[in-house]
Amino acid sequence: MAEIFMIGQGNTTPSLIYTLYPPVSLVGATVWFTMVREGAPDTEQRKIDNQLATTEVANPGVVRYDWAQGDADTVENYEGQFDILFANGKRATYPNTEPKIKIVVNRSLRSPA
């Protein structure tokens, strides 16, 4: 079953925290996050395109994406993925199978600021 992360429209917290499986060491690695609208064609612009993420715990690998203003402004279902460049130059994506991380942006009842 896909991991589901929910965030309110326009929110920038909580951060998305994801444990890589199988566990790997992220010592010296660089991490990026990408998010697309669920079911979007490959030609559609990504909502978040390769933005730097953070290593939450280097070993075993736990990563974090801190939302920026505008990342969660559109009520929609999305898919997310972390891309890793390891210190030895090798690359991997997590999750690297379907389904990806499911992200739901729920509508907010507050007035826009």
Give the pLDDT confidence of 76-104 residue by residue, as tens digits. 999 999 999 999 999 999 998 888 999 99
**Domain housing 66:** 4-106
User: Please, is 59 exposed, middle or buried when counting C-beta atoms within 10 Å of its C-beta (0-12, 13-18, 19+)?
Assistant: exposed
SS3 (DSSP) at 41: coil
**Beta-carbon neighbour count of residue 83 at 10 Å?**
17
In this prediction, the residues of the chain whose per-residue pLDDT falls under 70 are 1-2, 111-113
| Residue 44 in domain | yes
Cα(36)–Cα(80) distance, rounded to whole angstroms? 7
Model pLDDT, residue 111:
65
Cα–Cα separations (whole angstroms), residue 66 to 32, 35, 44, 89: 11, 13, 23, 25
Query: How does strand 54-57 pair with strand 76-85?
Result: unpaired
Number of compact structural domains in the chain: 1
Beta strands in the chain (DSSP E): 4-8, 16-19, 30-37, 48-52, 54-57, 62-65, 76-85, 91-94, 101-106
Does some domain include residue 112? no
Whether 18 maps to a domain, the answer reads: yes
pLDDT of residue 2: 61
What CATH number corresponds to the domain at position 11?
Answer: 2.60.40
Residue 43 backbone phi and psi in degrees, to 5: -80, -15
